[in-house]
Structure 1
Amino acid sequence: MTDNITAFELHRARGPFNAAFFSMMGPYIEWNVRRHKQRVFADLPRTVVELGSGVGANLRYLRPGSTLIAIEPNLPMHRRLRAAAERRGVHLDLRDRLAEDTGLPAGSADGVISSLVLCTVTDPAQVLTEVRRILRPGGTFRFVEHVVAPAGSPTRALQRALRRPWAWTFEGCSCERDLAGLLRAAGFARVEIEPYRLHSPFITFNTQIAGVAHA
């Protein structure tokens, strides 16, 4: 692991809270982003690496009999993730590691996915470097993420005002990251990004991107 990345610190209150929150709110979040996930997660390979699998919201996009290599350091998520994988008929290879250092061999993955994860990692640029390292030539990184709103907009002002309580509640989640810029600068052969906006009560969360980066 790179020297500037520390181990995941499990908070005894936040960890269980987030596991319960995303189990309860998962259907609502999925309803909002389903169309975008259906597009970018279509035709996933039989073995997929997922960064931050959480409680298994994206298992529905894997075919039964597929294998999910789940990079998930938040231990309170694990029980629900295992149960969801069993219900979906997906073989689960669960790894308690950070996305910055998956421990996977270079050039070993045909597909990597993430949703609402790059906002929470300590070093998103390092995560994208790791994704490029583990992808085979021609492999894809498919993502659905929430991002910083345009400068000067009311949403941007609200993101800035709420950044500290939002980050504390949601395991360090930042609503002020220019992930589209980081993806374009990460050295992928080609990056396709679609920006869009949700209309939900979680206003700081409503500016999003979905797309595919090609190794």
Structure 2
Amino acid sequence: MTQPTRPHPVFARYYTKVAGPALQQAGIDAHRRRLLTGLTGEVVEVGAGDGLNFPHYPPEVTRLVAVEPEPTLRALAEERARSTAVPVETIAARAEQLPFPDGSFDAAVVCLTLCSITDPQGALAELHRVLRPGGQLRFFEHVRADSAAMWRVQRALDATLWPRLMGGCHTARDTHTAITAAGFTPTAVDRFAFPETRFPSPAATHILGTAVRTDRGDAR
């Protein structure tokens, strides 16, 4: 699920027709369930895309606000929300400027989103702001590779046409460090390759975990 900075209908069609189904076939639903298990109360998901996470939210979630700035993906999310068990409200907004008061939510979710946000640190600062003290950040993101050789490949891709072709996606971001710098304390982080492929992929290294909002003043 990505968050382009402007309407991106070509990428949206590619994601829903090609990339999304390929990830489904590779077993991403198991990771979606791990990401969302145990959530309760009021939740905001930033970069909700076409709503593929919606069916995996537990019934203890009393309100889900799905933020998605890309119009084509948001329309698909609105359609999917109609058949989702938990109450879903979809809105057009950017992660760097969330239209919610301080302390509005019990939890926040980012799923394959921080790679494509223009200012990920600003987005994380906003998530920190809208969470209640002790609120959870749930994250599932592809990140900078462990090997120096693949990191060089990632940086080369990010400096060329990859972000433009892939809806703003960057492959070499150190998202774990960014989450900590924004005022969150990670409580569980799993690092793994997904999907498993015969040849190394620049977008294969993922982290999935939970972090807690800590009071560190203004993280921005």
TM-score w.r.t. structure 2 length? Answer: 0.84
Closer, same or farther in 2 for the Cα pair 1:156/1:8, shift >3 Å? closer
Residue 151 of structure 1, CA deviation:
4.8
Is 1:55 aligned to residue 50 of structure 2?
yes
* SS, match of residue 50 in structure 2: coil
How many Å separate the matches in 2 of 1:46 and 1:135? 12
How many Å separate the matches in 2 of 1:123 and 1:63? 30
Is 1:120 aligned to residue 116 of structure 2?
yes
Whether the 8 Å contact between 1:183 and 1:191 is mirrored in structure 2 is no
* SS, match of residue 21 in structure 1: helix
Closer, same or farther in 2 for the Cα pair 1:16/1:66, shift >3 Å? farther
Is 1:80 aligned to residue 94 of structure 2?
no
Greater mean deviation of Cα atoms: 204-213 or 20-29: 20-29
| Per-residue CA distance 1:141-184 (angstroms, 9 max, x = gap) | 1010010112523x223323322222011221111111111112
* SS, match of residue 203 in structure 1: coil
Residue 192 of structure 1, CA deviation:
2.6
- Cross-structure match for 1:27: 21
The gaps in structure 2 that reach 5 residues or longer are: 214-220
* SS, match of residue 205 in structure 1: coil
How many Å separate the matches in 2 of 1:180 and 1:149? 12
* SS, match of residue 169 in structure 2: coil
Root-mean-square deviation over aligned CA pairs: 2.2
Residue 68 of structure 1, CA deviation:
2.1
Closer, same or farther in 2 for the Cα pair 1:184/1:81, shift >3 Å? same
2:203 to 181, 205, 208: 205
2:35 to 36, 40, 53: 40
* SS, match of residue 49 in structure 1: strand
Residue 66 of structure 1, CA deviation:
4.4
Is 1:71 aligned to residue 67 of structure 2?
yes
For 1:169, the aligned partner's letter is: L
How many Å separate the matches in 2 of 1:142 and 1:46? 14
How many Å separate the matches in 2 of 1:59 and 1:115? 12
How many Å separate the matches in 1 of 2:62 and 2:12? 24
Closer, same or farther in 2 for the Cα pair 1:17/1:207, shift >3 Å? same
Indicate the percent of aligned positions where both proteins have the same amino acid: 31
Is 1:17 aligned to residue 10 of structure 2?
yes
Residue 8 of structure 1, CA deviation:
3.4
TM-score w.r.t. structure 1 length? Answer: 0.85
Residue 21 of structure 1, CA deviation:
2.2
For 1:17, the aligned partner's letter is: V
How many Å separate the matches in 1 of 2:76 and 2:185? 36
How many Å separate the matches in 1 of 2:118 and 2:135? 24
The gaps in structure 1 that reach 5 residues or longer are: 1-6
| Per-residue CA distance 1:163-208 (angstroms, 9 max, x = gap) | 2222011221111111111112221244432211122478111011
How many Å separate the matches in 2 of 1:177 and 1:158? 13
